[in-house]
C-alpha cells in the first residue's frame, strides 16, 4: 500500500518514515530495502521497470513516463540478482526467488543503458483429479494440486488473505458447475513447504446421481472439461492483427482420472496431440488402460505474447475448442463408464456374452470341419501339383521354419480372436450405439464378417499345419489359398474399418499403425505363399495322397532344385530312363531276328 500524492508520486519517502509507518509504495519499499542492504555492506542499486511494456521500450524516446515501477538489484560475490520488494509471501532459497519478466530495465548499477531481465519459468502447477465410480451413479472425487515457485507464492498469499470458509465455498462452487450433486467430505487440506516453496492443496468430495443426460437420448455421460487450461488461452478472431498477450509465466499440468472401481477393465485407446510453437507448448493425451481413463493436458508459455505473424497458427491450433477441451464418456446402466471404443476386453460374466456371435461360432466351426473331412481332404492337388516321386522323406530346410511360423500365427490369431478383439463380448456389439457418426447396422455387419473371416483364416492355418506334418499332396495349394485369402481379407477389412471409424483412427493412430496387420498379412503371403508355390522341396516332400495306399517310387537321383524346372523328374533321371528303354527295344529286335532261340515256333 502507498499514498502517491504530491512530490511523493515520483519521489520515495525517507526509509525511516516507511519503516515506522509500516507501509509504502514500490519506491518506498525499494529505497528501504536498498538502505538496509547497504548498511550490511551489500552492493545494491535501484532499478526502474515498466510493468506494462516488456518489449520495445528501447525504441521510445526518453520520458518520465517510460517507467512505472521500482525494484532493486543486488550483487553478492559477483552474482547479480533482481529483487522486487512489493512481492510478498515468497518462499524458497533467496537465489531462486521469482522475479517478473519486466523486459528491459534501467539500473543505477549499470552503465546507464537498458538491460534485459531474464525470462525464466521457475514455477508450475500440477492438478490431479481422480473420479472413482462406485456404482449406482455414485462417485468420489479426490483433487490434489501442487504449486511450485511463484505459483506457490501466489497461492500462499491467497490462503493467508482469504477466509477458509470463503475458499471452501469457492472451490465447491467450481465443481458444482460440473457435478450438481456434489458435497465435500472434509475440509480443504493446505500444506506449505516454505523452505522448498511448495504448496499442496487437497480436496475430497462425494458425488451422487453423477452424469448428465444426452440431448435426445436416455443415455447418461460424464463430462471431463479442461477448463483450467482453456482459461489460460485467450480466444481470438481469425482476422486479428494485434499481438496477443499471454499470462506469462505459465507451466500447467492438468490430469484427470476416471476409475471403474471393482468393474471390468477397458481396452486400450490413445488420443495424443502435441505442438511446440514459438510462444507456447500444448499437449493433450487421452489414454484408456486397464480400469481407468486418463485425460492429461500440458500448457507452457515461452513468451509473454504471441507475435502478429504467429496469430494464424494460434487460431488454427485452438479453433476447435469443443473437441480439445470437452470430453464425455458414457455410463452404463450400473453407473460405470464405458469408453465407447470397440474391443473393450474379455467378457467378465455370462451376462455380457453376445449369444449370437457364440452360436455363429458353434455352427460355423463344425460346418468347416465337415467340409474339410468329407469333401476337400479327399481331393488331389489341382493348382500346385507335387512331383510323382519322393525326393525327401522328411521335412527339412525352410519347411521347418514355415512349420514354426504356422504354429506362432495360430497361437497369436487365437489369442487375438478370443481375448483381444472379444467378438463374444456384448459391449463390443453395443459400442456402435456410443460412437457418433457410425451406423450400427454397418458396424455389426463388419463385426459379423470379421468373425467369419477370422474363423476361416484360423481353420485354414490349423488345417495347413496338419497337412504339412502329414506331408499331404494338397498342402501347397491349401496353404497358398489360405495365405492369399488372409491378405485380401485383412486389406479389405482395414480399408472398410478405416473409412467407418475415420474420425477416431485419425486421433489415435497414424496410418502405418492402423494398417499394420494388413501389411503383415501381405508380407506373409508374399514370402511364404511364393515359397510354397515355387519350392521344389515342398513339391518333392508333400506328395502323399488321401488314401495313402498308393506306392510312390523314391527318386533315384537328387533333385537339382532349379527354379525354372517344371517337370516331375530330373533331367539326368529322364535321360537314363530313355536310354534304358532304347536298350531294351534293341534287345527285343535282336531276339526276334534269331528263330533258333525259339524252337517251339515253326
Measured between alpha carbons, how far is 13 from 18 in angstroms, rounded to an integer? 7
* DSSP 8-state assignment for residue 416: I
DSSP letters spanning 100-131: ----EEEETTTTSSEEEPP-----EEEEEEEE
Where do the H-state alpha helices sit in 471-529? 475-500, 502-508, 511-514, 516-524
Structural domains in the chain, CATH included, are 6-116 (3.10.620.30), 124-338 (2.60.120.1130), 350-541 (no CATH)
**Residue 73, SS3 per DSSP:** strand
Which residue's entry shows cell 486397464?
290
**Contact criterion met (CB below 8 Å) for 108 and 71:** no
What are the Cα distances from residue 497, in Å, to 121, 266, 338, 428? 45, 20, 21, 14
**Contact criterion met (CB below 8 Å) for 31 and 46:** yes
Please list, residue by residue across 86-117, b when 16 or more beta carbons sit within 10 angstroms of its beta carbon and e when fewer do: ebebbbbeeeebbbbebbbbbbeeeeeeeeeb
* DSSP 8-state assignment for residue 551: -
pLDDT at 349: 33
Measured between alpha carbons, how far is 269 from 504 in angstroms, rounded to an integer? 10
Pairing of strands 138-148, 198-207: antiparallel
Distance, CA of 110 to chain centre: 52
pLDDT at 1: 56
**Contact criterion met (CB below 8 Å) for 142 and 130:** yes
Measured between alpha carbons, how far is 70 from 340 in angstroms, rounded to an integer? 57
pLDDT at 517: 82
Which pTM value belongs to this model? 0.58
pLDDT at 154: 94
Mean pLDDT, consecutive 10-residue stretches, the chain (602 aa), reads 66 91 93 95 94 85 89 91 93 90 89 85 91 91 96 95 93 91 94 96 95 75 87 92 91 92 66 87 86 90 91 92 84 76 33 73 89 88 78 81 92 78 66 62 86 91 91 90 93 86 57 76 91 86 74 51 41 50 58 49 38
Helix (H) or strand (E) holding 45: strand 43-49
Long-range contacts of 501-507 (CB under 8 A, 24+ apart): 501/342, 501/435, 501/438, 503/436, 503/437, 504/341, 504/435, 507/271, 507/273
* DSSP 8-state assignment for residue 12: P
What are the Cα distances from residue 444, in Å, to 121, 427, 574? 52, 12, 59
Measured between alpha carbons, how far is 528 from 530 in angstroms, rounded to an integer? 5
Distance, CA of 180 to chain centre: 32
Which residue's entry shows cell 520495445?
56
pLDDT at 136: 87
pLDDT at 587: 56
Which residue's entry shows cell 470458509?
165
Helix (H) or strand (E) holding 338: strand 337-338
Comparing C-alpha atoms, which of 37, 120, 41 is closest to residue 71?
A: 37
What cell numbers appear for 399 in the block? 519347411
pLDDT at 33: 96
Measured between alpha carbons, how far is 497 from 71 in angstroms, rounded to an integer? 63
Measured between alpha carbons, how far is 461 from 438 in angstroms, rounded to an integer? 33
Give me Rg for the CA atoms of the chain.
40
Please name every residue paired with 253 in a beta bridge, in sequence order, or none if there are none.
126, 298
pLDDT at 419: 67
Ramachandran sector of residue 485 (left: φ over 0; alpha: ψ -120 to 50; beta: rest): alpha
Measured between alpha carbons, how far is 534 from 566 in angstroms, rounded to an integer? 9
User: Taking every pair of C-alpha atoms in the chain, what is the biggest distance, in angstroms?
Assistant: 161
Contacts of residue 4, Cβ cutoff 8 Å, sequence gap at least 6: 25
**Contact criterion met (CB below 8 Å) for 139 and 210:** yes
**Contact criterion met (CB below 8 Å) for 275 and 317:** yes
**Contact criterion met (CB below 8 Å) for 314 and 235:** no
pLDDT at 169: 94
pLDDT at 348: 35
Angle, nearest 10°, between helix axes 440-470 and 355-374?
30
DSSP letters spanning 283-325: EEEEEEETTEEEEEEEEEESSSEE-GGGHHHHHHHTS-HHHHH
Which residue's entry shows cell 493425451?
285
Measured between alpha carbons, how far is 386 from 398 in angstroms, rounded to an integer? 17
Amino acid at each position: 500500500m502507498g499514498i502517491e500524492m504530491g512530490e511523493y508520486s515520483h519521489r520515495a519517502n525517507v526509509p525511516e518514515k516507511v519503516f515506522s509507518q509500516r507501509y509504502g509504495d514500490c519506491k518506498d519499499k525499494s529505497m528501504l530495502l536498498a538502505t538496509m542492504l547497504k548498511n550490511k555492506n551489500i552492493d545494491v542499486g535501484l532499478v526502474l521497470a515498466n510493468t506494462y511494456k516488456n518489449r520495445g521500450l528501447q525504441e521510445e524516446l526518453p520520458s518520465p513516463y517510460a517507467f512505472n515501477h521500482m525494484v532493486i538489484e543486488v550483487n553478492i560475490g559477483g552474482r547479480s540478482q533482481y529483487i522486487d520488494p512489493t512481492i510478498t509471501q515468497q518462499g524458497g532459497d533467496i537465489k531462486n526467488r521469482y522475479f517478473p519478466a519486466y523486459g528491459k530495465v534501467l539500473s543505477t548499477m549499470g552503465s546507464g543503458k537498458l538491460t534485459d531481465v531474464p525470462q525464466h519459468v521457475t514455477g508450475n502447477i500440477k492438478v490431479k483429479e481422480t473420479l472413482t465410480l462406485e456404482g449406482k451413479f455414485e462417485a468420489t472425487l479426490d483433487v490434489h494440486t501442487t504449486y511450485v515457485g511463484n505459483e506457490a507464492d501466489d497461492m500462499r498469499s491467497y490462503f493467508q488473505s482469504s477466509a477458509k470458509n470463503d475458499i471452501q465455498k469457492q472451490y465447491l462452487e467450481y465443481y458444482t458447475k460440473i457435478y450438481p450433486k456434489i458435497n465435500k467430505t472434509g475440509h480443504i487440506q493446505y500444506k506449505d513447504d516454505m523452505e522448498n516453496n511448495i504448496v499442496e492443496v487437497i480436496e475430497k468430495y462425494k458425488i451422487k446421481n453423477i452424469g448428465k443426460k444426452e440431448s435426445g437420448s436416455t443415455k447418461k455421460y460424464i463430462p471431463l472439461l479442461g477448463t483450467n487450461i482453456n482459461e489460460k488461452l485467450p480466444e481470438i478472431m481469425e482476422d486479428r492483427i494485434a499481438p496477443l498477450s499471454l499470462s506469462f509465466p505459465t507451466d500447467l499440468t492438468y490430469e484427470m482420472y476416471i476409475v471403474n472401481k471393482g468393474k471390468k477393465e477397458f481396452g486400450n485407446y490413445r488420443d495424443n496431440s502435441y505442438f511446440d510453437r514459438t510462444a507456447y507448448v500444448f499437449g493433450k493425451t487421452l489414454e484408456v488402460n486397464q480400469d481407468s481413463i486418463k485425460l492429461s493436458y500440458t500448457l507452457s508459455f515461452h513468451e509473454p505474447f504471441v507475435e502478429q505473424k504467429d496469430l494464424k497458427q494460434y487460431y488454427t491450433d485452438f479453433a476447435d475448442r469443443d473437441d480439445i477441451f470437452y470430453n464425455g464418456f458414457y455410463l452404463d446402466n450400473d453407473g460405470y463408464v464405458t469408453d465407447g471404443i470397440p474391443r473393450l476386453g474379455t467378457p467378465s460374466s455370462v451376462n455380457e456374452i453376445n449369444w449370437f456371435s457364440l452360436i455363429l461360432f458353434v455352427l460355423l466351426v463344425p460346418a468347416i470341419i465337415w467340409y474339410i473331412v468329407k469333401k476337400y481332404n479327399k481331393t488331389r492337388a489341382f493348382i500346385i501339383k507335387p512331383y510323382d516321386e519322393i525326393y525327401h522323406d522328411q521335412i527339412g530346410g525352410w519347411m521347418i521354419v514355415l512349420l514354426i511360423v504356422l504354429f506362432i500365427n495360430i497361437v497369436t490369431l487365437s489369442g487375438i480372436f478370443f481375448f483381444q478383439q472379444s467378438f463374444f463380448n456384448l459391449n463390443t456389439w453395443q459400442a456402435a450405439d456410443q460412437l457418433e457418426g457410425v451406423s450400427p447396422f454397418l458396424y455389426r455387419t463388419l463385426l459379423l464378417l470379421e468373425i467369419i473371416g477370422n474363423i476361416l483364416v484360423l481353420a485354414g492355418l490349423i488345417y495347413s499345419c496338419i497337412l504339412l506334418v502329414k506331408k499331404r499332396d494338397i498342402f501347397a495349394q491349401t496353404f497358398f489359398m489360405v495365405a492369399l485369402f488372409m491378405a485380401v481379407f485383412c486389406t479389405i477389412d482395414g480399408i472398410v474399418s478405416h473409412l467407418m471409424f475415420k474420425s477416431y483412427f485419425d486421433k489415435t493412430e497414424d496410418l502405418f499403425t492402423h494398417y499394420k496387420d494388413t501389411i503383415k498379412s501381405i508380407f506373409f503371403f508374399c514370402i511364404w505363399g511364393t515359397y510354397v508355390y515355387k519350392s521344389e522341396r515342398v513339391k518333392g516332400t508333400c506328395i502323399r495322397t488321401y488314401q495313402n495306399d498308393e506306392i510312390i517310387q523314391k527318386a533315384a537321383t537328387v533333385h537339382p532344385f532349379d527354379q525354372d524346372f517344371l517337370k516331375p523328374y530330373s533331367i539326368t533321371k529322364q535321360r537314363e530312363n530313355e536310354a534304358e528303354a532304347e536298350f531294351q527295344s534293341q534287345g527285343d529286335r535282336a531276339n526276334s531276328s534269331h528263330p533258333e532261340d525259339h524252337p517251339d515256333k515253326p
